[in-house]
Structure 1
């Protein structure tokens, strides 16, 4: 839970960091299908960063639709979008702040070379 909130913080710019919940749209658990799709749209980048940070800390990541009491929806496109965002970050890099935090986690947990690129290994792909 903490890494996803941290991921929102890492994405937010200076002005957004001053706002409650960093100015992100959020409707609590119990969303209908349209509300769930809106939730998924704003969660792609934060969950991709959470996935990368989880890997850096040596923990398995699980994509969260965060709607246990809402309408049942097919979230396979959401999972795919998060995965493709991870691939994009691996190919083009994270923001400076997110990369610094990733490097600190890798160093602290001893999960590799902090300066090494993000690897799209079986550990990462296993979460989808």
Structure 2
């Protein structure tokens, strides 16, 4: 039995999520945005009459969900950050082939950032096609497209907020920096990512 199974795993993961929340909130306090552990589906909520700060609510308290939702926030521009869920179209689980294809196109960049965040936090990354009750997507092909985008970011630079958070994660978790050479070596992880 692993030392991270059962209650030990839950409390270990919970502590890591608490650390991630603190890192994000401290790094981006100038953006009046907080990372919030959710109990249901993820959502981005801009500040409004009921809450004076923006909230990135991630699903079920999962570390990987937090990284994914942070990735969406790092891509969203000022206008998008004023809208619920950045004003994006979202078709829930149960998508047909055309809807799944549209979903994957808009998920490539956030999932590439999530992969970079995962590396910086010393975590394993896996793509999410998020369609358990719909058409079965080609996970390996999608992982390959996400990997190509990650290579592009490594070669040309990450969006500013993403680069800042990668640096914070690297420093906190003492993980190796994601260099273009290391990014190329991640191709061996494609099968795991899919």
TM-score, scaled relative to structure 1: 0.90
Q: Partner of 1:102: helix, strand, or coil?
A: helix
Consecutive unaligned residues of structure 1, counting only runs of 5 or more, are none
User: 1:120 is paired with a residue of what secondary structure?
Assistant: helix
**1:75-94 equivalence runs, <5 A:** 75-94=139-158
CA distance in structure 2 between the aligned counterparts of 1:25 and 1:44, rounded to whole angstroms:
15
Q: Which of the pair is proportionally richer in strand? A: 2
Q: Does 1:117 align with 2:154?
A: no
Corresponding residue of 2:15: none
**Pairwise CA RMSD of aligned residues?**
1.7
Q: Is the 8 A contact 2:151 2:184 kept in 1?
A: no
Aligned-pair distance for 1:121?
5.6
Aligned length: 126
Q: CA 1:77–1:124 in structure 2 vs 1: closer, same or farther (change >3 Å)?
A: closer
Alpha-carbon contact 2:127-2:139 (below 8 Å) kept: no
TM-aligned CA deviation for residue 24 of structure 1? 1.9
SS at match of 2:71: helix
Q: Structure 2 CA distance, aligned partners of 1:97 and 1:78?
A: 25
Separation in 2, partners of 1:124, 1:25: 31
Identify the residue that residue 79 of structure 2 maps to in structure 1: 15
Q: Whose relative contact order is higher, 1 or 2, with alpha carbons under 8 Å and at least 6 apart?
A: 1
Contact 2:154 2:179 in 1 (8 A): yes
State which of 15, 19, 33 in structure 1 corresponds to 2:97: 33
Q: CA deviation at 1:123?
A: 5.1
Superposed counterparts of 1:31-70, under 5 Å: 31-70=95-134
Q: Secondary structure at the match of 2:183?
A: coil
Alpha-carbon deviation of 1:13? 0.6
Q: Which runs of 4+ in 1 moved over 4 A?
A: 121-124
